[in-house]
């Protein structure tokens, strides 16, 4: 999901990642390995194997499980997870990057239980004020803010302008991994220390200050690109840096929910700071799963995350699909995608690619 301009905030759909047999195979192997991960982690959390658990999630005696790239990955015991991070497991949800003035906020609050907006304050004229975000949450909905994790948009204020002690995205040429084709943004290396500092200590705190309940981490697929990717190449150190960046965010915001977009299956076996990566996030979502056509590899990717997290005992883990209809009147295609997603055990949302309006589909449940 990307920004085309700032007034109004809009993003077009990302190009779907190419389906590969290796990616599908990795997903299948991780679905099978999920039980091993869960059994090891939960046994250790309960005292088996001499492990210990706490807010840091650091194990004193961890076990290993196979991972898709070969070798083994350490599986940590269950850390203490703040109840405030909990998201509805199967919510009616929406992603909307237009302004508050263009919608009926009360209607949105009454209909959706998970709402993704862009809370970036920019130069002082945000799409949603803190008071408007509070209205969105009035009926118990969770509100997540867009946070571009793996790339940086030139239209963001922090592309050029940041306080003393930070390096802007534009000035941080060492972190730039190439232009994101079709968009005014650049892939960024999440292992770069200046970029990590910018995200953790400047960008994310500004979003959290609005009252958002967490972050949707866009372009998270960067950690699975690989060193030879034609766009945004990300080697092993870069990929590990992405996991480490999430751990830094988790340490700074223990009560906020994190939902990566397009999280690759390789991250399931990752660890950072002694914590198995699946413990650090609270959901995953992917775009263009059922529209314009079914992507079997993305379905398998989501199933791998869902199976892993459920077997870790996280029954409220959010797994969302975001599909794009040609218009808000394309009800037949939208209904088909919605039904397919639900039948797969996911939480569907159907929009148009700009995400600048909300489609009030006739089949849309209310107050769920």
Residue 244 lies in a domain: yes
CATH number of the domain at 154, please.
3.20.20.70
> Residue for token digits 């994190």?
258
- How many Cα atoms within 13 Å fall on the side-chain side of residue 174? 7
- pLDDT confidence tier of residue 54, bands split at 50, 70 and 90: very low
pLDDT on residue 45:
36
Residue 196 lies in a domain: yes
**Radius of gyration over every alpha carbon of the chain, rounded to an integer in angstroms:** 19
Residue 148 lies in a domain: yes
% residues pLDDT > 70 (the chain): 79
Domain that residue 287 falls in = 5-9+84-351
- State the helix-helix crossing angle for 21-45 and 296-311, rounded to 10 degrees: 10
Non-local CB neighbours of 22 within 8 Å, separated by 6+ positions? none
Distance between CA atoms of residues 210 and 197, nearest Å: 20
Residue 113 lies in a domain: yes
pLDDT on residue 26:
53
- pLDDT confidence tier of residue 4, bands split at 50, 70 and 90: very low
Residue 49 lies in a domain: no
Render pLDDT for 278-328 as a digit per residue (tens, 0 to 9): 999 999 999 999 999 999 999 999 999 999 999 999 988 999 999 999 999
Render pLDDT for 249-284 as a digit per residue (tens, 0 to 9): 999 999 999 999 999 999 999 999 999 999 999 999
* Number of domains forming the structure of the chain: 1
Residue 59 lies in a domain: no
Query: What is the chain's mean pLDDT, rounded?
Result: 85
Which of 191, 184, 149 lies closest to 170, judged by CA?
A: 184
Cα-based distances in Å from 301 to 87, 89, 187, 286: 20, 18, 22, 9
pLDDT on residue 124:
86
199 DSSP 8-state letter: I
Residue 66: strand pairing partners? 72
Residue 249 lies in a domain: yes
Reading the block at residue 61, the tokens are 């005696």
Residue 364 lies in a domain: no
The arithmetic mean of pLDDT across residues 24-37, rounded, is 49
Cα-based distances in Å from 359 to 155, 253, 323: 26, 32, 12
């Amino acid at each position: 999901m990307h920004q085309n301009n700032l007034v109004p905030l809009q993003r077009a759909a990302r190009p779907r990642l190419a389906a590969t047999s290796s990616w599908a195979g990795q997903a299948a192997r991780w679905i099978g390995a999920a039980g091993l991960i869960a059994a090891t982690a939960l046994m250790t959390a309960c005292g088996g194997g001499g492990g210990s658990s706490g807010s840091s999630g650091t194990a004193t005696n961890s076990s290993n499980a196979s991972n898709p790239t070969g070798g083994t990955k350490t599986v940590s015991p269950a850390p203490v997870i703040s109840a405030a991070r909990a998201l509805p497991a199967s919510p009616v949800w929406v992603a909307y990057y237009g302004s508050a003035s263009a919608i009926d906020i009360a209607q949105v609050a009454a209909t959706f239980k998970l709402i993704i907006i862009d809370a970036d304050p920019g130069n002082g004229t945000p799409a949603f004020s803190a008071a408007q975000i509070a209205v969105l949450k009035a009926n118990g909905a969770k509100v997540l803010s867009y946070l571009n994790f793996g790339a940086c948009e030139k239209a963001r204020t922090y592309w050029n302008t940041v306080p003393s002690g930070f390096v802007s995205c534009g000035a941080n040429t060492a972190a730039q991994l190439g232009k994101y084709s079709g968009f005014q943004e650049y892939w960024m290396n999440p292992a770069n220390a200046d970029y990590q500092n910018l995200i953790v200590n400047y960008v994310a705190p500004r979003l959290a200050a609005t009252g958002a309940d967490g972050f949707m981490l866009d372009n998270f697929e960067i950690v699975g690109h690989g060193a030879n990717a034609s766009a945004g190449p990300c080697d092993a150190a870069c990929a590990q840096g992405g996991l480490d960046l999430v751990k830094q965010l988790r340490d700074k915001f223990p009560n906020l929910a994190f939902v990566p977009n397009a999280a690759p299956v390789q991250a399931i076996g990752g660890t950072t700071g002694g914590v198995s990566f699946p413990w650090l996030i609270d959901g995953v979502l992917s775009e263009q799963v059922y529209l314009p056509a079914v992507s079997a590899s993305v379905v398998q990717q989501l199933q791998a995350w869902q199976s892993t997290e459920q077997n870790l005992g996280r029954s409220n883990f959010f797994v969302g699909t975001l599909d794009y209809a040609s218009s808000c009147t394309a009800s037949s295609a939208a209904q088909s995608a919605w039904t397919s997603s639900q039948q797969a055990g996911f939480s569907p949302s159907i929009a148009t690619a700009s995400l600048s309006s909300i489609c009030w589909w006739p089949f849309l449940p209310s107050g769920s």
